[in-house]
Amino acid sequence: MPLKVDLRSRAASPAVTQTINQPFRPLPYVLLLASLAFIFIIEFYPFINGVSFSFHKGSLLSTGAFVGLGNYLRLFNSPSFYNSLWFSFIFAFFNVLVSYVLGLALALFLDPDFPGRGFCRVALLVPWIVPAVVSIVSWKWLIADKGGLVNVILGSFGAGPIYFLSQSGWAMVAVIVIKIWRSFPFMMLSLLAALQVIDKTYYEAARIDGANRWQMFWRITLPHIKNISIIQAILMIIWSINDFETPFLLTQGGPSNATENLILLSYRYTFGRNDVGLGSAVAILTLILLMVLSTIMMRQQAKSA
Amino acid sequence: MKPNRKWLLLFLGLVIVLIVDFPIITVILNSFRTTETIVSSHSILPTEPTLANYLFINTRTHFWTFLLNSMIVAFTSSALAIVLAALAGFAMSRYRARILGGYNQALLIVQMFPLILAIIPLFIFFRNLDMVNNFIPVIMVYTVTQLPFATWMLRSYFDSIPRELDEAATVDGCSPLRAFVQIILPLTVPGLVAVAIFSFLFSYNEFFISSVFLRDENRMTMPVGIQSFMQQYSTDWGSLMASATLGMVPTLILFFCIQKYMVAGATAGAVKG
């Protein structure tokens, strides 16, 4: 990517060595001041508080006694926690896997020029760009028990109805499918960007050497999009784990908590059960999980640079 | 490419678009049908289009308040984010200092931070200040969540402006900050606008943070308002579809304005860091 080249060439440019040798310059610090203040108030200060909450009993109204690792131990003994950890995992897994396959297929489809390609490209991004609440309204009707289009169609074949939102298994499928529908356009877009910077002469050379399309895909296309694929995949795992809107708006975590991910669990403990200690502990564990994933991502980025 | 193949690809493309956008198309079509026909009729097209749902929304709900609230919150937070990100992006583009590397790491953490962790203490904090149902906490959280993306994008725009330009101005006695405001910023206006619209879209669409802080009907943003409709009128599909259609109009308009910047935006988070 050109951006990365910029980063490295700047480090080596003579202008930069000059600035390093110069005495202390306050300007960069001043420029960051406002942003740092915001990050401090909105993320750092709450983070410290959250760590402290997770070691205390407490409600939304007041913080109670210090319980050490009590909240964490309660979580490790609670089936709800493992249930939501499991759902977060399969939610992220299927979302990344299917979004990647769909995204790559559509990116390959949109890479060569054809009339109307620009329109298709923009139109396929729509599921990604509309507000979550709008997509959920539309899907809720499509899969509604009575009068929903899917069940009307199933009914005309004599099948169904499927109660998508009241059966655990189907509710999980519904939440995951809708999440995939909302995420694959982003994958498509980033892969398309990566495909378009591949030097077309590679393909010409391969064709002269008698390579077929399949070989060209494996030997030229895939190696060129490998780095961006890994990075976007990890980014998408992080976003899936952090997703609140899709499960909350569709099922509110139900039926019987089948579609409750870690974020919804933390939300329910905090705002539903008014147990801030337990809710914060879930959030901290989620953060740790995400830190591990991000570290892997940064390693990968460092390797690919 | 043979001409036949071209048209085949176009046809295939349109079919894929129709399938993928089908849920959105049904929302728009259904918004012009009454709830009874939506539930009973087996056709998707509105045979007797009606504006009844829109009239209901207009007269019987707070929809326009929700929309106005969303506009206020989204506009303020994207304006704030763009100013903060421009300053930080300028520092990252033109200077080398240890703090800048640290700041970049901070942005990465902000990008992956589970918001629920911030929301719990912030909710308690702002409730003690009697600021629930106030836009300020929401605007501040939105601003911060947009900082990583906006800063990385703007930094790459500034990187694309040759250093010689502002260095020449500095040699002529212009201060670095003035060189930034008077020389670099005017050259990056299209990029600034694109990033501002991205930020606006994010805040306008966002549900989670708003739903925690904005609980009073007069303060709700559009997504929170539609969700409250979902609970109140759970079977009144007509009104729900009409509010969803109206709610996505601003999103779609802004999206079509910046769609050509989308490719750069989609990779900004991944390439930087």
DSSP string for residues in A227-288: HHHHHHHHHHHHHHHT--HHHHHHHTT-STTTT--HHHHHHIIIIIS--HHHHHHHHHHHHH
| Domain B61-271 in CATH 1.10.3720.10 | yes
Does residue A5 surpass a pLDDT of 60? no
Tell me how far apart the alpha carbons of residues B128 and B122 are, in angstroms, rounded to a whole number. 10
Determine which helix (DSSP H) or strand (DSSP E) holds A65, and give its type and residue range: strand A63-66
The C-alpha atoms of residue B242 and residue B51 are separated, in whole angstroms, by: 9
On the question of pLDDT at A255 being above 80, the answer is yes
Q: How near does any CA of chain B get to the CA of A133, in Å?
A: 6
Q: What is the pLDDT of residue B267?
A: 58
Of the candidates A114, A123, A134, the beta carbon closest to that of B9 is on A114
Q: How large is the ipTM?
A: 0.90
Residues of A in Cβ contact (< 8 Å) with B123: 60
For A78-304, give the CATH class. mainly alpha
Q: Does A12 touch chain B (CB under 8 A)?
A: no
Q: Which residues are CB-contacts of B226 (< 8 A; sequence separation ≥ 6)? A: A131, A133, A134, A137, B66, B240, B243, B244, B247
pLDDT (average), residues A27-48? 92
pTM: 0.89
pLDDT of A288 over the 90 cut: yes
Mean pLDDT of A239-252: 94
Q: Is the dihedral of CA B62, B145, B23, A258 positive or negative?
A: negative
CA distance A218 to chain B (A): 23
pLDDT tier at A105, thresholds 50, 70, 90: very high
Contacts of B269 in chain A (CB under 8 A): 235
Which chain B residues touch A38 with a CB distance below 8 Å?
A: 84, 140, 143-144, 147
Least confident of A5-9, A56-60, A283-287, B125-129: A5-9
**A253: its two tokens:** 């975590």
**Are the C-beta atoms of residues B23 and A142 closer than 8 Å to each other?**
yes
Question: What are the structural domain ranges in chain A?
Answer: 13-43, 78-304
Query: Which site among A32, A117, A128, A226 would you substitute to test the B interface, given the most B Cβ atoms closer than 10 Å to its Cβ?
Result: A32
Return the top range by mean pLDDT from A23-32, B80-89, B230-239, B255-264: B80-89
Structure tokens at A294: 């991000």
CA nearest neighbour of B30 among A166, A144, A247: A144
For residues A183-196, average pLDDT: 90
pLDDT for A104 beyond 50: yes
Tens of pLDDT, residue by residue over B134-171, are 999 999 999 999 999 999 989 988 988 888 888 888 88
Token digits of residue B189? 């206006």
How far apart are the CA of A284 and the nearest CA of chain B, in angstroms?
A: 7
At residue B6, does pLDDT exceed 60? yes
Chain B residue numbers with beta carbons less than 8 Å from the beta carbon of A122 are: 256, 259
Alpha helices in chain B (DSSP H): 3-20, 22-30, 35-40, 52-60, 63-94, 98-112, 115-128, 135-159, 163-171, 176-179, 185-187, 189-205, 208-213, 222-232, 237-258, 262-271
Query: Residues of A with CB below 8 A from B247's CB?
Result: 131, 133-134
CA pair distance A27, A15, nearest whole angstrom: 17
DSSP B4-19: HHHHHHHHHHHHHHHH
CA distance B123 to B214: 11
- CA atoms of A51 and A289, how far apart (whole Å): 15
Q: Enumerate long-range contacts of A150-157, CB under 8 Å, 24 or more apart.
A: A152/B42, A156/B42
Instruction: Identify the pLDDT of residue A118.
Output: 87
Element (H, E) at B112: helix B98-112
Q: Does A88 touch chain B (CB under 8 A)?
A: no
Nearest to A235 among B117, B241, B269 (CB): B269
**Beta-carbon separation of A133 and B237 below 8 A:** no
Q: Does A68 touch chain B (CB under 8 A)?
A: no
User: Which A residues 110-129 touch B at CB under 8 Å?
Assistant: 110, 112-117, 119-120, 122-127, 129
Smallest CA–CA distance from B30 into chain A, residue? A138
Chain B residue numbers touching A180 (CB-CB < 8 A): none
**Structure confidence at residue A234 (pLDDT):** 86
Question: Hunting for tokens 């005495």 — which residue is that?
Answer: A23
